[in-house]
Amino acid sequence: MQLARVVGTVVATRKDPRLEGMKLLVVKTMSPDGREDGSYLVAVDTVNTGAGEKVLIVTGGSARMAEGCKDRPVDTAIIGVVDAVRLDEQPAAAAASKR
C-alpha cells in the first residue's frame, strides 16, 4: 500500500467495457510526512473519495483484489481514505540528544 493525494479526475468516453461506471481519479503518491514525490497515477476509486483527500492505494494484483475490480483491467485502486498518519520515529539528532 502507498499513501497518495487525489489531485484530479479522468474522463474517458471510450474505454474497456469492464471499466464502465467506474470513477477514475488522478493521484499523486506521497511520503508519510505529507511530501508529494511527483509520481502521478490513474486509480479506480472504490471508496467514493474526493478531490484533495489523502488516500491509500494499491497497485498490480492487489488492485484487482479491491472491491469491484476483480477481472477488470485495473492496475491502481484507491482502497481507503486516510484520516491521520503518525510516525513514531525520531530524527537522529533528537534521538542522540536524549541519550
pLDDT digits (tens, 9 = 90+) for 65-98: 898 889 999 999 999 999 999 888 766 655 555 5
- Does residue 64 register a pLDDT over 80? yes
> Could you read off the pLDDT of 23-60 as tens digits, one per residue?
999 999 999 888 888 789 999 999 999 999 999 999 99
Class of domain 2-97: mainly beta
Global pTM reads: 0.84
What is the 3-class SS of the chain, one letter each residue? CEEEEEEEEECCCCCCHHHCCCCEEEEEEECCCCCEEEEEEEEEECCCCCCCCEEEEEEHHHHHHCCCCCCCCCCEEEEEECCCCCCCCCCHHHHHHCC
Domain boundaries along the sequence of the chain: 2-97
- Select from 22, 28, 24, 29 the least CA-distant residue to 7: 28
Q: What is the pLDDT of residue 36?
A: 87
Per-residue pLDDT at 99 exceeds 80: no
